[in-house]
Amino acid sequence: MNAPLIELRRLARHARNARTETGIPRVAMVQGKIPEHALAAVYDPMINLILQGGKTMTVGERTLHYDPATYFVMTVDLPAVGAVHGARDGSPYLAVSLTLDANVIANLLHDVGPDSAALPPSHGRGSAFSVAGVTPEFMDAWVRMLSLMERPSEIAALAPAYEREILFRVLQGPHGGLLRDIATPDSALARLRTAIRWIRENYAKPLRIATLAENVAMSESAFHRHFKAATALSPLQYQKQLRLMRARQLLIADGASVTAAALDVGYESATQFSREYARAFGMAPSKDAARIVRAFRNPAAPSR
């Protein structure tokens, strides 16, 4: 498996230390040290493959570690905290990702057939994110996909086929059930995605669990159970993470005051906001924002 990995590293060598578009739909790459606050974010559903170094993803009370021997799948929008590190030989962190499109997966399942013998039984149902080991077939598919960066005129014709191949390889593995569920309208995960989309779009509004549960045809108890199993967070914890991450953006990018940021994301009390912010990010909002802005202005300076 070394040859495909070496080739993927070569193909992705021009990635920057932020999301770098490849010109291939839904495929991106990143390289190097990424600011801590940029890794505390709401992540879109994706397949993430590490080519060099390693990464840690923490969602709620669950923490997953992965490296070039494994890949990560997330099938719902999740507020998570990440940390990356370079390889032991000093080489920088390097990774590629494929954002998941439920329609592409649904079309693939239609063509393959959900009960096809080619697809093994799914494992780990309930959680919407997990890590699995790479296979030679999975890596070869990624090489074909990234090779299109050197032949951009072929992207329109071949990228859809290579995307389907990558997804098919995931369907064959322990994450197959996760992909099937997001493309199956009546599955619990597909219904949860509807609820999660509402929370993302309305995070500043009061969260009425009974209404959300009713909208996705679940009892309140079932909704809570499925939501926590999928995201490692309760619905209220999920909303809180969205609010705090958005408030952090307002403080850093817009220079908003603590009170203004708190009110903008739905808090009625700036005191409560500051307390929960410090619990989530390790320091008071104003100090945290000042630390991040200072680090941007002087990257060589200590961050704390």
CATH number at residue 257: 1.10.10.60
Q: What pLDDT, on the 0 to 100 scale, is given for residue 298?
A: 67
Whether residue 131 sits in one domain with residue 160: yes
Residue bearing the bigger pLDDT, 302 or 59: 59
- Per-residue pLDDT of 4-63, as tens digits, reads 999 999 999 999 999 999 999 999 999 999 888 888 999 999 999 999 999 999 998 899
Whether residue 140 sits in one domain with residue 99: yes
* Band of residue 184 on the pLDDT scale cut at 50, 70, 90: confident
Whether residue 48 sits in one domain with residue 8: yes
List, in order, residues 6 or more apart from 3 with CB less than 8 Å away.
Answer: none
* Band of residue 157 on the pLDDT scale cut at 50, 70, 90: very high
The closest alpha carbon to 39, from 78, 91, 87, 92, belongs to 78
Share of the chain above pLDDT 70, in %: 93
Whether residue 109 sits in one domain with residue 95: yes
- Per-residue pLDDT of 256-296, as tens digits, reads 999 999 999 999 999 999 999 999 999 999 999 999 988 77
Q: What pLDDT, on the 0 to 100 scale, is given for residue 123?
A: 44
pLDDT of 302 > 90? The answer is no
The closest alpha carbon to 84, from 75, 73, 95, 74, belongs to 95
Residues 86 and 245 sit within 8 Å (Cβ to Cβ): no
Q: What pLDDT, on the 0 to 100 scale, is given for residue 112?
A: 85
Residues 191 and 159 sit within 8 Å (Cβ to Cβ): no
Whether residue 52 sits in one domain with residue 145: yes
From residue 45, give the alpha-carbon distance in Å to each of 27, 95, 112, 208.
Answer: 12, 16, 22, 25
Whether residue 149 sits in one domain with residue 28: yes
**Assigned domain for 304 exists:** no
- Cα end-to-end distance, the chain, whole Å: 41
The closest alpha carbon to 56, from 157, 131, 148, belongs to 131
- Per-residue pLDDT of 124-151, as tens digits, reads 457 899 999 999 999 999 999 999 999 9
Domain count, the chain: 3
pTM of the model: 0.89
Q: Which helix (H) or strand (E) is 240 found in, with range?
A: helix 235-253
In this prediction, residues 210-230 reach a mean pLDDT of 95
* Band of residue 121 on the pLDDT scale cut at 50, 70, 90: very low
Q: What pLDDT, on the 0 to 100 scale, is given for residue 178?
A: 87
Parent domain of 227 = 188-233
Share of the chain above pLDDT 90, in %: 79
* Band of residue 85 on the pLDDT scale cut at 50, 70, 90: very high
Tracing tokens 């040859």 back to the chain, one arrives at 3
**Assigned domain for 110 exists:** yes
Give me the helices (H) in 123-234, please: 136-147, 155-171, 176-182, 188-201, 209-215, 220-231
**Assigned domain for 303 exists:** no
